[in-house]
Amino acid sequence: MKLTILRSLLVSVLALGVWAQERPASASDAAYNQAMKLIDDRQWQAAAAAFDNLAKQASPRADASLYWKAYAQNKLGRRDEALASIAELRKSHPSSRWVNDASALEVEIRQSMGQPVSPENIADDDLKLMALNGLMHSDPQRALPILQKIIAGPQSPKLKERALFILAQSSSPQARQILGDIARGSSNPDLQRRAIRSLAVSGNKENRQIMTEVYNSNAAPEVKKEIIRGFMISGDKERIGALARTEKDPALRSEAIRQLGVMGDQATLSALYASETSPELRKEILQAFMVGGASDRLLEAANNEKDPELRKKAIQLLGVMGRGKTGDALVQLYNKETEVSIKKHVLNALFIQGNAKPLIEIARKEQNADLKREAVQKLSLMKSPESTEYMLELLNK
C-alpha cells in the first residue's frame, strides 16, 4: 500500500515538473515580446505606449521596458521625455544591467540636442569615448586637451588607443600635430606604434604623409616596420613598392615584400623578382606570391628558374597552396622533370598536400628505385584510405 502511495506521489511530482517546463509564457512576457515586435517593425508610437504600460505594471522586465520606452521616444523626436524615462530607470532600478545601455543612449540624445556631455564627468571608458567623439565634432578645441590628458595619463592601453583613433579621424591641424608628435616618438614606444596604426586606419593623404616623414627620419627599425604595415592597412601600394625597391635594410625590404604579398600586388612583385639579385629576397618574393595566391607565378619559377634552391622553394610553396590549386601542375612538373633532387621536392610537395592518389600512381610506375622508395615512404606516413590500401597491396605481393 505504502509503495503504491509513493509511486503515485512520484508520478504527481514528475507531472508537475513537466507542466512547469511546458507552461506557456506569462502574460507580461507575451506583452513584452509583442512590444519588442513593435520596435522591430519601427512602430515607435505604439512601442512607446506598450513599454510605458509594462513599466507601470511593475513587471519583472520593468527596467528593460523603461529603456525601450526611452529608445522609442527618442526615435519619435521626444528627447526630453526619453531623458525623463532614463532618469526614472536610474532611480527605480539603480542596479539594473540596463543602466549602462541607458547611459549610452543618454549621451547620444544629449549630443543630438546640441548638449555635449562633459567627458570628464563620465566614469565608464566606452561612454567617455562616445562623448569625446561627439565633442570632437562640435567643439574640438575643448576635446583636444582632454584627449591629450587621456593619452599622457595612467589610462588603459585600450582607452589610449581609441583616443588616438579619435584624433586620427579629425581634420583639425592641431589633432594631426598631436598625433604626428606621438608617431615621431614623443611618447613611449608602445604609444608610438599605436599612433602609427591609428594614422594608418584613417588612410587619408595627410596621415600617410606623416607616416612617410616619420619613416624618413631616424626612426628605429621596429617603428619603420610598423609604418610599412600601416601603409598596407591604408592600401598604399605605391609607397610599399618604392620601399621594396629602394630600402637599404634587407629586413625592411623583406617586410615591404611581405606586405605586397598580403595586398596581392603581383605586378610589382613580378617586376621585383625579375630585377632582384639577392637569393634571400627572391625567396621572400616567392613566399609573397604564395600569400597572394599567385600559383601561376610560382609555377613559372618552378619550371624556369635557373637557381635550383629557388626552384625547390617554389615547389615547396606550391605544395603549401593545396591540392585543389596546384596538385595537377605538380604532377605535370614531376613527369617532365629529369633532375632527381627536384623530383624529390615535388614528391614532398604532394605529401604536404596529402595528395595520395598521384603519389600512388608515381610509386607504381616509377622505374628509379630511389624515387619509388621516396614515394612509398611518403605514403607510409599518410593516414588516408588510399595510402592504407596501397600499403596492403605492397604487403600482399
What's the pLDDT score for residue 119?
A: 53
Considering the domain boundaries, does residue 305 fall inside one?
no
Q: Which residue has the cell 601561376?
A: 296
Candidate from 172-186, 240-254, 270-284, 317-331 with smallest mean pLDDT: 172-186
Give the whole-angstrom CA distance, residue 174 versus residue 195.
15
What is the CA 102 to chain-centroid distance, rounded?
A: 29
Question: What are 349-377's pLDDT values in tens digits?
Answer: 999 999 999 999 999 999 999 999 999 99
Does the residue 323 lie in any domain?
Answer: no
Residue appearing with cell numbers 588616438 = 164
C-beta atoms surrounding 184 within 10 Å = 17
Asked whether 169 and 202 are in contact (CB, 8 A), the reply is: yes
Q: Is the pLDDT score of 178 beyond 60?
A: yes
Q: Name every residue whose Cβ is closer than 8 Å to that of residue 278 and which is 6 or more positions away in sequence.
A: 250
Report if residue 8 sits inside a domain: no
Is the residue at 72 inside a domain? yes
> What is the domain extent for residue 96?
31-115
Cβ-based neighbour number of residue 206 at 10 Å = 12
Q: Please report whether residue 64 resides in a domain.
A: yes
Main-chain phi, psi angles of 238, to 5 degrees = -60, -45
**Mind listing the pLDDT tens digit for each residue in 86-96?**
999 989 998 88
Overall pTM surpassing 0.75 (yes/no): no
Here the cell at position 293 is: 595566391
Closest CA to 343 of 334, 351, 355: 334
Let me know how long the chain is: 397
Percent of the chain with pLDDT over 70: 88
Distance (Å, rounded) from C-alpha 37 to C-alpha 97? Answer: 22
Position 270 confidence tier, pLDDT thresholds 50, 70, 90: very high
CATH code of residue 102: 1.25.40.10
In a domain, 69, yes or no: yes
Q: How far apart are CA 159 and CA 142, in angstroms?
A: 18
The pLDDT of residue 190 is 77
* 340 found inside a domain: no
Residue 355 belongs to a domain: no
The total domain count for the chain is 1
Residue 257: CB atoms within 10 Å: 31
pLDDT (tens digit per residue) in 107-154: 778 777 876 555 554 555 666 666 677 777 777 788 888 888 888 776
Helix crossing, 295-304 with 266-275: angle to 10°?
A: 20
Q: CA 215 to CA 56: how far, in whole Å?
A: 62
Q: What is the largest CA-CA distance in the chain?
A: 99
Residue partners of 355: CB distance under 8 A and separation at least 6: 323, 327, 330
Instruction: Take residue 94 and report the three cell numbers written for it.
Output: 539603480
